[in-house]
Amino acid sequence: MAEAEESPGDPGTASPRPLMRDLKAVGKKFMHVLYPRRSNTLLRDWDLWGPLILCVTLALMLQRGSADSEKDGGPQFAEVFVVVWFGAVTITVNSKLLGGNISFFQSLCVLGYCILPLTVAMLICRLVLLAEPGPINFMVRLFVVTVMFAWSVVASTAFLADSQPPNRKALAIYPVFLFYFVISWMILTFTP
């Protein structure tokens, strides 16, 4: 299978790719993120649909009602987008500068897909926030976000760590940690 690093599909086919096939590919990658093993599937067949869906979902859920003044509120839709994509690009460029041998889009794909646990955490937090506020409410949310944050970091490390030279692994992993920490913070401080 001639898989060039940077080409996601078959150029020159007359008919469009069937939607189900794409959805299945995205779904398969979601499963790989939820049960991270050292596998190459995420890296080989990269696509950016999954990250886009996750990012849009996350940004939509982080919207609050516009009762508050805009300046003082939580992140706006565009801010979430900027943080996620700019952060992912920065981490990718950083890992390539450090000498990693992963391609640009592969790395974006992995980082984007590994936001899935945090998106699930956001869903759970939104549900929990429907109950009455209080310290127990906060503790539950804190626990869920922490677990999902750890899951995200472990999942992305499982995919990305092998592509770095051994004496620079920590240098490449730390920005990933920071990236998911910021997203977790945005989720945790969300108040409807």
Partner 1 sequence: MAAADELTFHEFEEATNLLAETPDAATTSRSDQLTPQGHVAVAVGSGGSYGAEDEVEEDSDKAALLQEQQKPQPGFWTFGYYQSFFDVDTSQVMDRIKGSLLPRPGHNFVRHHLRNRPDLYGPFWICATLAFVLAVTGNLTLVLAQRRDPSIHYSPQFHKVAVASITIYCYAWLVPLALWGFLWWRKGVRERMGPYTFLETVSVYGYSLFIFIPMVVLWLIPVPWLQWLFGALALALSAAGLVFTLWPVVREDTRLVAVALLSAVVLLHALLALGCKLYFFQSLPPEHLAPMPQVSPLPPNVPRPSTLPQSMATS
Please name which of 32, 35, 40 lies closest in space to residue 5, comparing C-alpha atoms: 40
First to last CA, the chain: 49
**By CB under 8 A, is residue 182 in contact with partner 1?**
yes
In the bound state with partner 1, the residue whose beta carbon lies nearer, of 8 and 74, is 74
Among 23, 143, 154, 181, binds partner 1 (CB under 8 A): 181
In whole angstroms, how far apart are CA 11 and each of 3, 7, 24, 27, 108?
A: 12, 8, 20, 23, 21
Residues 109-148, one symbol each (x = binds partner 1 by CB under 8 A, - = not), give ----------------------------------------
Shortest distance in whole angstroms from residue 143 CB to partner 1: 17
**Choices 28-36, 115-123, 125-133, 180-188 (CB under 8 A): range interacting with partner 1:** 180-188
- Distance from C-alpha of 142 to C-alpha of 144, rounded to nearest angstrom: 6
**By CB under 8 A, is residue 167 in contact with partner 1?**
yes
- Distance from C-alpha of 46 to C-alpha of 5, rounded to nearest angstrom: 9
Please name which of 101, 83, 81 lies closest in space to residue 92, comparing C-alpha atoms: 101
Q: How many residues bind partner 1 (CB under 8 A)?
A: 29
Binding site residues, partner 1, CB under 8 A: 68, 71-76, 79, 94, 96-99, 165, 167-171, 174-175, 178, 181-182, 185-186, 189-191
